[in-house]
């Protein structure tokens, strides 16, 4: 198992993996429809989307954690 100190990196990896996979499929189908080579189109889009998503999540997640902390009330 991976040490808990790598939680942010592991979370970012899986979040970007799943979100990029789903969104690239939806956007690929939206743009070209259910064509015969949709799997090839989607996989190319997904590889690019995953690289962008992982980088984005790694950079943006500390800001989002801070915003969430500011938005939520402290427990009494």
Angle at 28 between CA 22 and CA 32, to 5 degrees: 155
* pLDDT confidence bin for 74, thresholds 50/70/90: confident
CA atoms within 13 A on the CB side of 62: 4
Residue 67 in any domain: the answer is yes
Q: Is the pTM of this model over 0.85?
A: no
Mean pLDDT computed over every residue of the chain: 94
Residue 25 inside a domain? The answer is yes
Q: What domain count does the chain have?
A: 1
Question: Is there a domain that residue 60 lies in?
Answer: yes
> Which residue segment(s) compose the domain that 9 sits in?
4-71
- Which backbone phi and psi does 26 adopt, to 5 degrees? -60, -45
26 assigned to some structural domain: yes
Flag whether 76 is in a domain.
Answer: no
């Amino acid at each position: 198992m991976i040490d808990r100190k790598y939680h942010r990196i592991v979370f970012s990896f899986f979040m970007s993996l799943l979100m990029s996979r789903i969104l690239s499929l939806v956007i690929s189908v939206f743009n070209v429809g259910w064509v015969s080579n949709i799997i090839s189109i989607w996989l190319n889009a997904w590889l690019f989307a995953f690289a962008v998503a992982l980088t984005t999540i790694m950079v943006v997640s500390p800001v989002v954690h801070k915003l969430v902390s500011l938005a939520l009330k402290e427990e009494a």
